[in-house]
A = this chain, B = another copy of it.
Amino acid sequence: VLKHVVLFRFKAGTSPETLRRIEAAFCQLPQQIEQIRAFEWGTDVSVENKSQGFTHCFVLTFQAEQDRDAYLPHPAHEAFRAVMRPHLDQALVIDYFAHPVNGK
């Protein structure tokens, strides 16, 4: 499967209420976009001081690259971007085909 990892760093001063609204909006997408096979997210609790200001991680699972390609320009995704973009400092996106490691 193809994992789509999205990290967000928000502008300084973004209110908790705005963050909750953005999180909720992103979490609506699995109901709106059939190509999303799995979706999970959380906020940073790392202790190594290597998060570079990124506070939110969302991981979407697609069955194939074509599904990711359908997701990216999907109207529901665009609507979410419009909610988030005014508050975003930086997004980092990396996609990978998941290689599990045997034995675990």
Residues of chain A touching chain B, judged by Cβ–Cβ distance below 8 Å, are 2-5, 7, 27, 30-31, 36-48, 50-52, 54, 57, 59, 65, 68-69, 72, 91-101, 103-104
Contact = CB atoms under 8 A, between A and B. Distances in A.
| Integer count of this chain's copies in the complex | 2
Nearest to A34: B104
B104 A54 contact: no
B41 A96 contact: yes
Given A30-B103, A54-B92, A103-B30, A72 B48 contact: yes
A96 B69 CA distance: 26
- 8 smallest beta-carbon distances between A and B, as pairs: A42-B96, A46-B95, A50-B93, A30-B104, A39-B101, A40-B98, A40-B100, A44-B94
B45 A7 contact: no
Given A5-B57, A57-B5, A91-B50, A43 B104 contact: no
